[in-house]
Amino acid sequence: MLRYLYILLAVITLPHFLYAHDDKGNGHIRGKVTTSDGHAAAAVSVVLKGTAKMAITQENGDFYLRDIKPGEYEIAVSYLGHENASQTVTVVGNKTVQVTVVMTISGVNLQEFTVTKNRNPYKDHLNSPTLRLTTPLLETPQNIQVVTNKVLADQQVTSMSDGLIRNVSGATRLEHWGDLYARVNMRGSRASAFRNGMNVTSSWGPLTEDMSFVDHVEFVKGPAGFLMSNGEPSGIYNVVTKKPTGTTKGETSLTLGSYDLYRATLDLDGQLEKTGRLLYRFNLMGQTKNSFRDYEFTNRYSIAPVLSYKVDDKTTLTLEYVLQHVKMSNVGTYYVFSADGYAVRPRDFTTAEPNLDPTVIDDQSVLVNMQHRFDDRWKLTAQAAYFNYRQTGSSMWPGAVNKDGTMIRRVSIWDASNEGKYGLLFLNGDVATGAIRHRILAGLDLGSKEYVADWNQGHNLDSVGGFFNIFNPVYGKPANGLPRFDRTKSLRVRAGSNIINQSYTGFYLQDELGFWQNRIRLTLAGRFTYVEESSYGTRVSDKKFTPRLGISASIDATTAVYALYDQSFVPQTGVLRSGEKVKPITGNNIEFGVKKDWFGGNWNTTASVYRILKNNQLSNDPDNQAGENYSLQLGQTKTEGVEFDLRGQLVPGLSLIANYAFTDSKINKATKTLAVGAPVPGFAKHNANAWLNYRVQNGALKGFGVSGGFSFMGDRSTWTWGAANQKDLPDYFKLDGGLSWEKNHITLNANIFNILDTYLYSGAAYATYYYWQAEPGRNLRVSVGYKF
């Protein structure tokens, strides 16, 4: 392993020696864009006229243009919806010119157009600092898609489980656990769940985030384990929470909807003292919601205060706390079971019992973040977080499913604890050696997770002779009465061997070398990861060095092509029927893509083609009987695909998100039970989505908006391996649309979901029967918001 590290360090440092003497006599421009009242302007386009050089300002308004031939130039800065600004600058050889460009816009107006984060409502130029990269998205040699806060609002997305993934190519959810947690699949396997750059993925978690405290969500395609600790080769999604902006403002909203949805939110943002050094953000949400099925409900509230203190011009400390409280019905009631196939009962059919005790969840997290900028070239970030999840409740699965439609419903206790501790430290640098630019990233990751669950107590609601009949259901009078679980002992004692824990340490180093005035960028990186893991009484440890190689080239100021080779390493937990040790996932990704900004960066397209080889992936064992949770370990899977994403504002007032993905995932190396070419479960071969929003810009109807969109999945595989003659899932098509109105401080928004009232569901074959989970029919949401 040390040999590879030495080689990597030699490759990274070699240009320093080769090019330190190479002085072409070019100069550089280092600048800052501010508003007319002195606020930093982020995400503003900076173009050096007469050249191919451009930049996007960072969150502090800074930009840097390198390797410019001496002479007189004009810098032009632009931001959607405002007049461009320009300034003449004289570049001198071997020197850096300092320049400040002022835009004729105030900080208040800046807030109205969310300059602090997004250049336009549906598109972002930069990823969040939690992704650790300082390279603009256009130049990054990887497919990264950002779902902005405005998109979430327009589509009335309330949680991570609530249709958000329609905005990203190839992201699917073939199973639904309500608002318990969101399991997202991309590129043939599960995408790891991150929050603010920390891997919070667990066996049954994390608790799906409510969007009231979320700023935006970033989807990183392909292996992200190098940067983001242990991550699947398919990719990750990173939930970025709201932070103080320094501008005093507030917003409140009320949402009413079908199935007794009542939801209220409050978002306060501002300064706690006059100097602007102590900032705050406070988000509050309360919600009650029933279901299209009887006896189901999900009631939630969340509290998310954030404090940010500017120690000085170089150092900022941020403290964040999030509490999510959930009271919901038994999660197993989302399932319907039949020996005959899918959807043999009406959409609103349920196996729920009205008097089962609810499941109660308290999910809390504390995050401390410190950012220190040594100068305009070097920045250090340190972060520590503690996550604590407590669940008291139950689940339900059948003890028997018979051909005549009778069944035995079995309720099992499901008390759980999920605890995580995370620490990260990373250094970003932006320096030059001769003609070569270096974007340097070096860091350390530490993490510890533990999941404890009591599944050891169960109770049959029904019995032989007292079956529950799906064709003639009777509720409220189960033959064996309701369960009474014993909770007199601690959860850890009751859990027995149902404990999964993991601790990891990772070191990584990356250098992005920019050649020919940064038109070609070569990424060289490596990571060493050490992991210890224990699951169901078995302890293992492993370590691995994973390299990363990427190249990105700017065809012009708005077009870039890239190629990437990356590896992943993910220890995993599970129980094999053979008793053998579960091996960690290893994989590699080869990817090629092209990115382009159109019409001044107002909208963007990304197209990519990839191949992922993944070793030792786990899947549910099709021979599992009731109460069994064995897995299959696959030899090697190969996932190949093509993805296309379009997002942004095509013309003033007309915004579009559209995407398509072709995914093909198969067994590449045979196992004892699976042949080469067998499809891997858990994906849709064809996935297409679109969301179009138009808002009238002038005239009597100014502020009126109309929107519409669809989601399609074709050739869907089921969640698990099934029998050879199992029935296929049908294609999926959902049509949504809405009307809205914005004027001054008031926003009205109404959306109709599943306009065609289609019976939509996902499911799989399991043992000797089928299960499926239906989605709501046609339903409505209406929101009114007020900004102050």
The DSSP result for 538-592, as a single string, is: EEEEEEEEEEEEEEEEEEETTEEEEEEEEEEEE-----BTT-PPPPPEEEEEEEE
Kindly report, residue by residue over 259-270, the tens digit of the pLDDT.
999 999 999 999
Is pLDDT of 767 > 70?
yes
Average pLDDT over residues 274-289: 95
User: What pLDDT does residue 18 have?
Assistant: 36
Q: What is the pLDDT of residue 240?
A: 96
CB contact at 8 A, 248 and 195: no
Reported confidence tier of residue 707, pLDDT bands at 50, 70, 90: very high
Domain regions of the chain by residue span: 1-116, 249-787
- Which pairing describes strands 235-241 and 192-195: parallel, antiparallel, or unpaired? parallel
- Nearest alpha-carbon partner for 693 in 659, 652, 660, 733: 652
Q: How confident is the model at residue 230 (pLDDT cuts 50, 70, 90)?
A: low
Q: DSSP secondary-structure letter at 158?
A: -
User: If you average pLDDT over residues 115-139, what whole number do you get?
Assistant: 76
Question: Which pLDDT score is estimated for 386?
Answer: 98
pLDDT digits (tens, 9 = 90+) for 507-548: 999 999 999 888 999 999 998 989 888 877 677 788 888 888
The pLDDT value recorded for residue 159 is 94
pLDDT score at 114: 39
- The residues facing 186 across adjacent strands are 189
Q: How confident is the model at residue 15 (pLDDT cuts 50, 70, 90)?
A: very low
Give the pLDDT score at 581: 74
Give the burial string for 89-116 (b: 16+ CB within 10 Å, else e).
bebeeeeebebebbbebebebbbebbbb
Q: What is the mean pLDDT of residues 219-229?
A: 70
In which band, very low, low, confident or very high, does the pLDDT at 155 lie, cut at 50, 70 and 90?
very high
Which has the higher per-residue pLDDT, 710 or 723?
710
Does residue 729 contact residue 718 with C-beta atoms inside 8 Å? yes
Indicate the DSSP class of residue 314: S
Q: Are strands 96-103 and 27-35 parallel, antiparallel or unpaired?
A: parallel
Give Cα separations from 231 to 36, 527, 564 (angstroms): 44, 12, 17
Give dist(CA 32, CA 38) in Å, integer: 11
Domain 1-116, CATH 2.60.40.1120 — does that match?
A: yes
Distances from the Cα of 601 to the Cαs of 86, 238, 572, 597, in angstroms? 18, 24, 41, 5
The whole-angstrom separation of Cα 440 and Cα 428 is 6
Distance CA 341, CA 308 (A): 55
Q: Check whether 193 has a pLDDT greater than 70.
A: yes
Q: How far apart are the first and last CA of the chain?
A: 57
CB 8 within 8 A of CB 526: yes
For the segment 75-87, what is each residue's pLDDT rounded down to a tens digit?
A: 988 765 556 788 8
The pLDDT assigned to 693 comes to 96
Alpha-carbon torsion angle 710, 714, 719, 723, nearest 10: 150
Residue type, 423: G
pTM of the model: 0.85
Q: What is the mean pLDDT of the chain?
A: 87
pLDDT of residue 54: 75
Query: What is the rounded average pLDDT of the residues 143-154?
Result: 94
Tell me how far the alpha carbon of residue 286 is from its chain's centroid: 23
Distances (CA, A) of 677 to 309, 523, 636, 779: 56, 34, 11, 41
CB atoms within 10 A of CB 652: 13
Query: Is residue 745 classed exposed, middle or buried when 0-12, 13-18 and 19+ CB atoms within 10 A define those classes?
Result: exposed
For the cut 70, the answer to whether the pLDDT of residue 119 exceeds it is no
Q: Return all residues near 301 (Cβ < 8 A) that are at least 6 apart.
A: 284, 285, 286, 287, 324, 325
Q: Is pLDDT of 571 > 50? A: yes
Residues 431-454: pLDDT tens digits?
Answer: 999 889 999 999 999 999 999 999
Q: Hey, which of 48-57, 493-502, 730-739 has the most confident mean pLDDT? A: 730-739
Residue predicted with more confidence, 105 or 299:
299
HSE, CB side, 13 Å, CA atoms: give it for residue 201. Answer: 24
**Percent of the chain residues topping a pLDDT of 70:** 89
Pairwise pLDDT comparison (607 vs 766), residue with the higher score: 607
| Secondary structure, 3-state, 729-748 | CCCEEEEEEEEEEEECCEEE
Tokens of 619: 């899947």
pLDDT reported for residue 64:
82
Which positions ≥6 away from 461 have C-beta within 8 Å? Answer: 353, 408, 409, 410, 411, 468, 478, 479, 480, 481, 482, 483
Residue 595 has pLDDT above 80, yes or no: yes
300 DSSP β-pair partners? 287, 326
Decide if pLDDT at 359 tops 60.
yes
The superfamily in CATH containing domain 249-787 is TonB-dependent receptor, beta-barrel domain (2.40.170.20)
- Could you tell me the pLDDT band of residue 233, with boundaries at 50, 70 and 90? confident
Nearest to 237 by CA among 199, 181, 180: 199
pLDDT at 228: 58
Between CA 717 and CA 701 the distance in angstroms is 46
Could you give the CA distance from residue 280 to residue 525 in angstroms, rounded to a whole number?
Answer: 37
Is residue 348's pLDDT more than 90? yes
478 pLDDT band (50/70/90 cuts)?
Answer: very high
Whole-Å CA distances, 764 to 263, 342, 401, 619: 33, 8, 14, 13
- Chain segment 623-674, per-residue pLDDT in tens: 766 556 677 777 788 999 999 999 999 999 999 999 999 999 988 887 666 7
| For residue 161, pLDDT beyond 60 | yes
Structure confidence at residue 122 (pLDDT): 87
More confident residue, 177 or 481: 481
Give the mean model confidence (pLDDT) for residues 732-752: 96
Three-state SS for 77? strand
CB 199 within 8 A of CB 230: yes
Average pLDDT over residues 383-392: 97
CB atoms within 10 A of CB 42: 23
How far apart CA 371 and CA 382 sit, in angstroms, is 7
pLDDT of residue 409: 96
Give the dihedral sign, CA 730/680/589/209: positive
Residue 150 near residue 114 (C-beta atoms within 8 A): yes
Contact 158, 211 (CB under 8 A): yes
Let me know: does 376 contact 63? Beta carbons within 8 Å.
no
Contact between 76 and 64 (Cβ < 8 Å)? no
Q: Is the pLDDT of residue 573 over 70?
A: no
Q: Is the model's pLDDT at 110 over the cut of 60?
A: no
In angstroms, how far is CA 435 from the centroid of its own chain? 37
Rounded to 10 degrees, the C-alpha dihedral 198/203/204/210 comes to 10
- Candidates 440, 482, 451; CA nearest to 330 is 482
pLDDT at 486 over 60: yes
Burial class (CB in 10 A: 0-12, 13-18, 19+), 579: exposed
Alpha helices in 743-787 (DSSP H): none
3-state DSSP of 675-714 = CCCCECCCCEEEEEEEEEEEECCCCCCCCEEEEEEEEEEE
Q: What is the mean pLDDT of residues 410-419?
A: 96
Helices (H) and strands (E) counted in the chain, each on its own, are 4, 45
63 vs 553: CA distance, rounded Å: 20
Is the dihedral angle over the CA atoms 726, 727, 728, 734 positive or is it negative? negative
| Cβ atoms 210, 285 nearer than 8 A | yes
pLDDT band at 120 (very low <50, low <70, confident <90, very high): low
Burial call 299-309: b when 16+ CB within 10 Å, e when fewer = bbbbbbbbbbe
- Distance of alpha carbon 729 from alpha carbon 160, whole angstroms: 24
Q: Quick one: pLDDT at residue 19?
A: 37
